[in-house]
Amino acid sequence: MSETLIQRIKELEEEVEKLKSQLNGNHTETNACPNNNKTNGKKGKKACKERPFDFSAHPRRHVALRLAYLGWAYQGFAVQENTDNTVEARLFEALLKTRLIQDRQSSNYHRCGRTDKGVSAFSQVITIDLRSTQYSGLGVSVPEDSKQDTAAAPELPYVKMLNRVLPRDIRILEWAPAAEGFSARFDCQSRTYRYYFPRGSLDVAAMTDAAKRYEGTHDFRNLCKMDVGNGVLQFERTILSATVEPADPQRADGTHPHDLFVFEIKGLAFLYHQVRCMMAVLLLIGQKLEAPEIIHSLLDVHNNPRKPQYSMAVDYPLVLYDCHFDGLSWKRDAEELGLAMSSLQQHWTESAVKAHVLRDMIRGLDATSGVSSGLCLLVEGSRQRKYRPLLERPLCESLESRIEHFVKRGRLEREQDEAGGETLHKGKRSKYSQNSTGAAAEVVNASPE
């Protein structure tokens, strides 16, 4: 072989190496992983890195999202430090996965209510800034250096995008563009809860009479869990309506023990465990263990400043039924609504069949077991040997004692206001707490049932 040919082969080999180097460099720059690139060794097995998503190149839009969820399998709605099994945790996983937000901290996120462990929602509402395709319109903010896209692109299908990655027991129902300062927490006009229960042997008429006594503006410290450690020091709330009615009056007359009833309560805002405490007292009245007048006694904090010790109603029948807002134009996706209906129908079919099987088993045993089928089993730890009237029971700590306890622990701090009077404010905050204008704003303006 001639020296000229050998030299030419060396030049070509060098050229091939250069091309390989350039090709690998292009792969690094574009972060691409071509399907036909077959390499040997450990280096070829390394997964290509995803290109960082440039959120600054996209407009953002302030929107409201209405969602429904079955809360029975979750530890509540709001994110918690000791568990990730919450509805809100799943929601933010979906928002990050679809790249609708960069992170929670910069998303301008507010929630309407903080439902408790096991509580469901037909109509929970959040407000948040999401990635958008629009360069004008309600709630749209455009990056300073971006150039407006002249093509009229449709808005991102928020409902479809989120529902594709959310668990099936959490569904986004609709969305609405919102003004930049609009807040699901502060701009909610009212919140409505429903608590479902079987009639059993309850005196529903007495419960209906008692429920009306909740209406109006009262101090509910004896009908909630005092959340003093989180800065809640004021327990006056306004209840707009409170009723007890058959859950389905067209299908049942409300006289059979297995007929379902619903306690529906509408208010401006609620305290921690307020609805479940109110329902527990109604169930005592329905069992004729207490008279309807006990409501007035519990609301009279001057004569009864300390809460009697009693158990709450259980969590699973409670639903955040509605959150009412003015000025929002909701947008629905008919296909997504149909899929949500189909999923709920599947849940209902399974539950209804199981309920009927259990009901027939109860009927078969009722005549021979000697156990009443009208027992009330909706109060935590309700199996008592002998009933003790509420006003004769041991009392919980007073509000003043609770405040002093948390001041000593450093959870509350004392300082003087401008007028020289003493005020208290929350000293310790969770990393998941929303921004607020006052110590108790988190609970006063959001329903933490």
In a domain, 68, yes or no: yes
Average pLDDT value for residue range 81-99: 95
In a domain, 284, yes or no: yes
pLDDT value of residue 215: 97
pLDDT value of residue 417: 62
Q: What CATH code is carried by the domain that includes residue 433?
A: 3.30.70.660
Number of domains observed in the structure of the chain: 2
- Where residue 40 falls among pLDDT bands split at 50, 70, 90? very low
Whole-number CA gyration radius for the chain: 29
Distance CA(185)–CA(113), nearest Å, equals 7
In a domain, 405, yes or no: yes
In a domain, 432, yes or no: yes
Same domain, 383 and 242: yes
Residue corresponding to tokens 């609708």: 100
Q: Please measure the distance between the N-terminal and C-terminal CA atoms of the chain and give it in whole angstroms.
A: 89
User: Is the Cβ–Cβ distance between 352 and 223 less than 8 Å?
Assistant: no
Task: State the average pLDDT for the chain.
Answer: 84
Which has the closest alpha carbon to 278: 289, 260, 294? 294
In a domain, 331, yes or no: no
Catalytic site residues? 116
Same domain, 103 and 137: yes
Same domain, 284 and 413: yes
In a domain, 182, yes or no: no
pLDDT at 37 over 70: no
Q: Tell me the residue type at 247.
A: A
Same domain, 128 and 98: yes
pLDDT at 416 over 70: no
Which has the closest alpha carbon to 194: 251, 276, 128? 276
pLDDT at 38 over 50: no
Domain hosting residue 123, numbered range: 55-142+151-177
Greatest mean pLDDT range, 176-190, 227-241, 380-394: 176-190
